[in-house]
Amino acid sequence: MRTATPHFVLLVTASPARTTRRRSDAERNASDSPGSLGHARLGIVVTKKIGSAPVRNRIKRLCRECFRLWPDFLPDGVDLVVIARNGAGELGLADVQAEWSRARSAVLKRCAAVLRGAIAQKGAESAT
């Protein structure tokens, strides 16, 4: 699910369950459901259209720092993919935090919907 700000697009998805080996359905348990990773994850996309490599790297550093400084921005088990738009290279950390703050309520609504959908999908898969 997508939320747009002037300089970023924020996509929210449920974290996939991770296993170290293949298991049969009988061995699976509730901790294998989507969204059960235990922490939120961040992915950042900055295309070459945005600027030179130092500009793109700075945008990624700012997004990672904002995510690190705000540990409760997302609930556990959610992935956030940030897509930078034109003009993002001119922002400072305070500007990134302000944009994310304005988008937070919409992002949290989408997180709730994504997690509900992931749980419903897991329930439908286990019923078959």
- Whole-model pTM: value is 0.72
CA distance 49 to 36: 35
3-state helix, strand and coil shares in percent for the chain, rounded to the nearest 5:
50, 15, 35
Q: What is the CATH number of domain 1-14+35-104?
A: 3.30.230.10
Q: Report phi then psi at 99, rounded to 5.
A: -65, -45
Digitized pLDDT (tens) for each residue of the chain, 128 residues in all: 678 888 888 888 777 755 445 555 544 444 444 445 577 889 999 999 999 999 999 999 999 999 999 888 888 878 889 999 999 999 999 999 999 999 888 888 888 887 776 665 555 555 56
Sequence-separated (6 or more) residues with CB below 8 Å from residue 47: 84
Structural domain boundaries in the chain: 1-14+35-104
Do 70 and 98 meet the contact criterion of CB atoms below 8 Å apart?
no
